[in-house]
């Protein structure tokens, strides 16, 4: 090796070490390949896993010079291919939160990390010497290494108990139902790959669902399926389904029973049918809508029943039976569609929690590891914790909070991108949660490291003191070659899948009669004259855990289009009865408690009872602006998540409340005139001036595929450094989003979503009016924007027929709430105030690929835009015109916005009006 190569080697190795010093494979495996870091532009790709509701979601994070910000969902070999949820996109930015960077506190005084840890260990030893119990609360993490470590500690002493708590209690009802019907400890996840029809009982599997990536990745393959949704709220799944049937909460069980009756009739199960008639004699069951009946008769094995996890166990049992009886004639298909999730770990932890709630007097010291009873919905636990004195409370959390103020010792924790961990998948493979950056906060400690420290203190067996070494040593047992393990780690795995997915359940042992008796006992006659509010925890902000994240707060909710607030949605009938005005505050009374909340009256949509999507915004307002008197608290509305509702009264008030709404709806007749095929003569009219069309960048948006999840808006915002403007600006209609999603109500009552972005017209009306030539046209057909040249005359905005240009009323630093220069994309300029901006077709990505291809001598190159990369149903395609639109026949099927203006847009839409 000559000197120059030696220096090159030095720089590349220092680059690797500089980005992440603790990457285990660098320390442990000598063969670090050069491909590991792509040498161009310091980009390093990492595979990490976002832990969400007790199961991992795989994501790729690309870092540019120590900055993790670009997230891609592709190239992952787990079960959830290519889908990134909003929460994963948004929570990356919690890494940069200023509130995170604080020092450990012991008895009100700031100290160093080591001192605080010594205080904790001294307390633990003191308690163990006095034979008193210690409870450690933490989120339920499905990590084999942590389970092993915890079991080591618990085997050594009975006095320390680790209680893992899932954020929402969504497993409980499913679990209970499985136990009632099958006497097994299983969670049944319905695989909908081969289904042609889905009958859905209130499950919003397109948005507020922990298994969202799993469902959507399967849905994107198969768009020929029909969805029938029964729901008591209004959700994205309801909006996208072919038939939406609004029902009351009590009706779920009755509808389920009538489905069961119909199925037993058709599937030739006479014994069961007679049993059913006998037990439910005299109970009136509602009639099934006529649209669904033919599907029940002819497409039985391909039908799938989905049920909301929060619905009571009786409904879960019915859902299980429905899935069973629809496939009883073809047991093979049944086997394929059931996936198990072992719930032993879950039940053990639940028993531990019950033990704590029963005998709290036995415990002397409580340690909260990334678990805050104030955030999660568990009021009974909060009551118990309140009786402990601050001396006996220890918290380790990301932020200072109400809990940390009341506790003696506080240590800041690390973000999940700052430490290593292992997570178990549904197929028993173990994926790695990789460290991506060095911890920002030098006083912080990671959750697994803390547990390792405790176990090493109590039982000093470990060979090394470094946590990541221990993690690697744990997995070395399973391998003969270390090189195999190092390759797996690079792909984001510790262990490849060991067991098969299929499970066998002995359905002959099913005691149907006892199940029917159980169901009959569950039927409650609906009580009249009581009002109940349905509360749904929002999965994106983790029911409030991430609601300090401004990106997620400003993003309009997909169906209602509300940003920044958590209003209560009220049916129009109820509003008329109670004389409630839209966008006003209403008073909610329940017992002695009362609170006021903003309301939105849903006029065009039928729902029967008001509902609230629980985003816990108000908590955070209390935490970060403690003296804010406006912060409302609706604790009392959430008694227990399994109870679903609470009976209360609603009173109108005179206070008005402005709700920031971004959604725009359009009628079908109007859009069919505006979104139409290109006029044939128009291409000939300007043919002399136009560049050869094959070279142009074009985008095709498949409106039939689009589910309207608004992920493209969020991805675009993060990619292009679009500032978060705040509620006041949105109320003045000064939002800065480059993509608008317009809703379309069809004749069926179904909703269609049309994303509208800059059309990059060949004859752009905006270009000709610009007095300074800030917008111009490239040879690639991109309508480019030169921000440094723009003087803010806004002529282009006035002349744009598509209304896609946005004016930056404040600079990036003024507008951005929680602005940190670190979290911006270094390839896109930060815009100053007083300029117009719009979609650039991700021109920095195009330039990046162009330079890369010219450096390495590649002629053709493909580009994926940020919105295309993130789209869960792959509704967006982007590329050269000649590659995407081959032949003239395809262009005829495609539609274009406002074709009569002859602007010749380069964004095409696939939409068929005949089916709508």
Partner 1 sequence: MKIWKSKSIALILIFSLCFLNFFLLLNYLRNGIGFQPKQNISFSHKLHSKYKIKCLFCHDQAETQSFANIPTTKTCMICHIALRTESPLIKSVITSYDSLILLSYQKVYDLPDYVRFSHSLHLRSGIDCATCHGLVDQMDSLYQVRNITMGWCVDCHKNPEKYLIPPRQISGIFYPSDTIFNLTNLQFFSSSLPSGTLQTFLPIPKKINKASVECSICHN
Residues that bind partner 1 in the complex, under the rule CB under 8 A:
3-11, 14, 34-35, 39-42, 776, 778-779, 782, 784, 786-789, 827-830, 840, 843-844, 847, 851, 854-857
Nearest residue (CB) to partner 1, 306 versus 843: 843
Q: Which residues pair with 226 in a beta bridge?
A: 197
For 794-843, list the strands marked E by DSSP. Answer: 806-807, 836-837
Rounded to whole angstroms, the Cα distance separating 811 from 816 reads 8
Nearest residue (CB) to partner 1, 582 versus 832: 832
Q: Is 331 helix (H, G, I), strand (E, B) or coil?
A: helix
Nearest residue (CB) to partner 1, 176 versus 778: 778
Helices (H), 732-857: 765-769, 795-799, 812-815, 843-855
| Closest distance of CB 659 from partner 1, Å | 36
Nearest residue (CB) to partner 1, 7 versus 329: 7
Nearest residue (CB) to partner 1, 493 versus 846: 846
Nearest residue (CB) to partner 1, 478 versus 827: 827
For 579-644, list the strands marked E by DSSP. Answer: 584-590, 593-602, 611-614
State the DSSP H helix or E strand holding residue 661, giving kind and residue range, or none if neither.
none
Rounded to whole angstroms, the Cα distance separating 651 from 581 reads 11
Angle (CA) 218-222-223 rounded to 5° is 120
| Closest distance of CB 886 from partner 1, Å | 27
Rounded to whole angstroms, the Cα distance separating 692 from 784 reads 18
**Other beta carbons within 10 Å of 778:** 15
| Closest distance of CB 781 from partner 1, Å | 12
| Closest distance of CB 907 from partner 1, Å | 18
| Closest distance of CB 773 from partner 1, Å | 9
Rounded to whole angstroms, the Cα distance separating 816 from 827 reads 18
Determine contact, residues 507/442, Cβ cutoff 8 Å: no
| Closest distance of CB 11 from partner 1, Å | 7
| Closest distance of CB 39 from partner 1, Å | 6
Rounded to whole angstroms, the Cα distance separating 741 from 662 reads 9
Contacts of 461 (CB under 8 A, 6+ apart): none
Contacts of 195 (CB under 8 A, 6+ apart): 222, 225, 302, 303, 304
Cα 328 to chain centroid distance, Å, stands at 35
Nearest residue (CB) to partner 1, 9 versus 359: 9
Nearest residue (CB) to partner 1, 689 versus 856: 856
Nearest residue (CB) to partner 1, 840 versus 877: 840
Separation in Å, CA 202 to CA 51, 238, 240, 245: 25, 8, 13, 10
| Closest distance of CB 836 from partner 1, Å | 14
State the DSSP H helix or E strand holding residue 566, giving kind and residue range, or none if neither.
none
| Closest distance of CB 12 from partner 1, Å | 9
Rounded to whole angstroms, the Cα distance separating 185 from 182 reads 8
| Closest distance of CB 5 from partner 1, Å | 7
Return the residue matching tokens 């795989």.
58
Rounded to whole angstroms, the Cα distance separating 338 from 355 reads 33
Rounded to whole angstroms, the Cα distance separating 779 from 782 reads 7
Q: Is 424 helix (H, G, I), strand (E, B) or coil?
A: strand
Nearest residue (CB) to partner 1, 108 versus 771: 771
| Closest distance of CB 42 from partner 1, Å | 7
Nearest residue (CB) to partner 1, 733 versus 859: 859
Nearest residue (CB) to partner 1, 172 versus 840: 840
Nearest residue (CB) to partner 1, 34 versus 604: 34
Q: Which of 247, 254, 251, 226 is nearest to 606 (CA)?
A: 247
Angle (CA) 635-636-637 rounded to 5° is 90
874: left (phi over 0), alpha (psi -120 to 50) or beta: left
| Closest distance of CB 505 from partner 1, Å | 52
Helices (H), 183-288: 212-221, 236-240, 251-266, 270-279
Separation in Å, CA 828 to CA 60, 76, 724, 804, 844: 20, 27, 16, 19, 7
Q: Which of 843, 885, 842 is nearest to 700 (CA)?
A: 885
Residues found in the chain: 916
Nearest residue (CB) to partner 1, 843 versus 894: 843
Q: Which residues pair with 876 in a beta bridge?
A: 701
Nearest residue (CB) to partner 1, 509 versus 855: 855
| Closest distance of CB 161 from partner 1, Å | 45
Nearest residue (CB) to partner 1, 277 versus 438: 438
Nearest residue (CB) to partner 1, 711 versus 782: 782
**Other beta carbons within 10 Å of 110:** 12
Burial 604-628 (b: 16+ CB within 10 A, else e): ebebbbbbbbbbbbbbbbbbeeeee
Q: Which residues pair with 530 in a beta bridge?
A: none
Q: φ and ψ at 789, to 5 degrees?
A: -95, -20
Nearest residue (CB) to partner 1, 514 versus 854: 854
Determine contact, residues 139/164, Cβ cutoff 8 Å: yes
| Closest distance of CB 353 from partner 1, Å | 49
| Closest distance of CB 884 from partner 1, Å | 21
| Closest distance of CB 41 from partner 1, Å | 6
Rounded to whole angstroms, the Cα distance separating 171 from 168 reads 8
| Closest distance of CB 778 from partner 1, Å | 5
| Closest distance of CB 26 from partner 1, Å | 17
């Amino acid at each position: 090796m000559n000197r120059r190569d030696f220096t090159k080697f030095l720089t590349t190795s220092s680059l690797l070490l500089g980005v992440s010093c603790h990457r285990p494979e660098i320390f442990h495996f000598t063969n670090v390949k050069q491909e590991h870091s792509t040498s161009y532009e310091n980009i390093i790709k990492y595979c990490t896993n976002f832990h969400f509701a007790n199961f991992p979601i795989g994501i790729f994070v690309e870092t540019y010079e120590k900055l993790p910000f670009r997230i891609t969902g592709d190239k992952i070999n787990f079960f959830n291919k290519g889908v990134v949820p909003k929460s994963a996109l948004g929570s990356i930015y919690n890494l940069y939160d200023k509130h995170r960077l604080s020092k450990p506190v012991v008895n009100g005084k700031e100290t160093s990390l080591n001192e605080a840890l010594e205080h904790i260990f001294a307390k633990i030893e003191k308690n163990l010497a006095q034979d008193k119990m210690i409870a450690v609360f933490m989120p339920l993490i499905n990590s084999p290494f942590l389970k092993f470590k915890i079991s080591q500690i618990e085997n050594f002493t009975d006095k320390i108990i680790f209680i893992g708590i899932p954020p929402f209690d969504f497993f409980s009802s499913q679990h209970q139902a499985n136990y009632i019907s099958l006497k097994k400890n299983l969670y049944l996840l319905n695989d909908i790959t081969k289904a042609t029809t889905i009958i859905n009982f209130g499950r919003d599997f397109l948005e507020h669902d922990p298994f969202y990536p799993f469902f959507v990745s399967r849905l994107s393959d198969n768009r020929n399926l029909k969805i029938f949704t029964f729901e008591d709220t209004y959700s994205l799944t309801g909006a996208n389904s072919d038939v939406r049937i609004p029902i009351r909460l009590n009706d779920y069980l009755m509808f389920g029973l009538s489905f069961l009756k119909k199925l037993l009739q058709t599937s030739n199960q006479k014994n069961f049918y007679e049993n059913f008639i006998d037990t439910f004699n005299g109970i009136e069951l509602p009639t099934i809508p006529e649209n669904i009946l033919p599907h029940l008769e002819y497409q039985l094995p391909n039908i799938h029943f989905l049920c909301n996890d929060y619905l009571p166990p009786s409904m879960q049992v019915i859902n299980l039976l429905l899935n069973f009886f629809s496939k009883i004639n073809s047991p093979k298909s049944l086997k394929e569609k059931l996936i198990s999730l072992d719930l032993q770990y879950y039940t053990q932890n639940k028993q531990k929690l019950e033990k704590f709630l029963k005998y709290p007097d036995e415990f002397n010291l409580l340690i909260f590891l990334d678990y805050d009873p104030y955030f999660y919905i568990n009021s009974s636990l909060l009551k118990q914790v309140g009786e402990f004195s601050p001396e006996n409370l220890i918290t380790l959390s990301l932020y200072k909070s109400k809990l940390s103020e009341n506790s003696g010792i506080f240590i800041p924790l690390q973000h999940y991108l700052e430490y290593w961990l292992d997570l178990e998948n549904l197929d028993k493979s173990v994926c790695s949660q990789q460290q991506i950056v060095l911890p920002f906060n030098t006083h912080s400690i990671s959750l697994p490291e803390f547990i390792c420290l405790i176990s090493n203190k109590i039982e000093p067996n470990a060979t090394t003191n470094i946590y990541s070494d221990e993690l690697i040593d744990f997995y070395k047992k399973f391998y003969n070659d270390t090189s195999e393990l190092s390759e797996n780690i690079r792909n984001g795995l510790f262990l490849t899948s060991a067991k098969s997915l299929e499970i066998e359940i002995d359905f002959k042992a099913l005691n149907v009669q006892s199940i029917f008796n159980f169901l009959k006992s569950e039927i409650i006659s609906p009580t009249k004259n009581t009002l109940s509010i349905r509360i749904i925890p929002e999965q994106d902000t983790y029911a409030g855990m991430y609601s300090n994240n401004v990106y997620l707060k400003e993003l309009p909710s997909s169906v209602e289009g509300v940003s920044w607030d958590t209003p209560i949605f009220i049916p129009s009938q109820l509003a008329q009865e109670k004389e409630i005005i839209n966008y006003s505050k209403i008073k909610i009374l329940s017992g002695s408690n009362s609170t006021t909340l903003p309301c939105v009256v849903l006029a065009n949509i039928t729902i029967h009872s008001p509902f609230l999507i629980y985003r816990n915004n108000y908590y955070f307002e209390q935490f970060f602006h403690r003296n804010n008197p406006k912060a409302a608290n609706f604790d009392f509305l959430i008694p227990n998540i399994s109870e679903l509702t609470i009976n209360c009264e609603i009173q109108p008030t005179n206070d008005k409340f402005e709700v920031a709404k971004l959604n725009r709806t359009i009628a079908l007749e109007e859009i069919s005139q505006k979104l139409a095929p290109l006029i044939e003569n128009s291409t000939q009219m300007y043919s002399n001036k136009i560049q050869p069309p094959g070279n142009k960048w074009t985008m095709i948006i498949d409106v039939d595929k689009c589910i309207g999840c608004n992920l493209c808006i969020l991805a675009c915002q993060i990619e292009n450094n679009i500032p978060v403007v705040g509620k006041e600006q949105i109320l003045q209609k000064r939002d800065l989003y480059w993509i608008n999603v317009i809703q379309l109500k069809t004749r069926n009552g179904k909703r269609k979503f049309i994303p509208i972005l800059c059309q990059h017209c060949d004859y752009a009306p905006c270009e000709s009016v610009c007095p300074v030539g800030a917008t111009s046209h490239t040879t690639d057909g991109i309508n480019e924007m030169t921000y440094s040249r723009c003087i803010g005359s806004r002529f282009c905005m006035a002349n744009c027929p598509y209304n896609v240009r946005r004016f930056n009323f404040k600079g990036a630093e003024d507008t951005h709430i929680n602005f940190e220069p670190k979290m911006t994309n270094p390839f896109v300029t930060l815009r100053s105030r007083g300029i117009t901006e719009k979609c650039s077709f991700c021109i920095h990505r195009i330039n990046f690929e162009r330079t890369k291809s010219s450096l390495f001598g590649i002629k053709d190159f493909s580009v994926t835009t940020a919105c295309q990369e993130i789209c869960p149903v792959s509704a967006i395609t982007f590329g050269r015109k000649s590659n995407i639109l081959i032949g003239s026949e395809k262009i005829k099927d495609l539609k274009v916005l406002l074709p009569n203006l002859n602007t010749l847009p380069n964004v095409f839409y696939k939409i068929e009006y005949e089916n709508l």
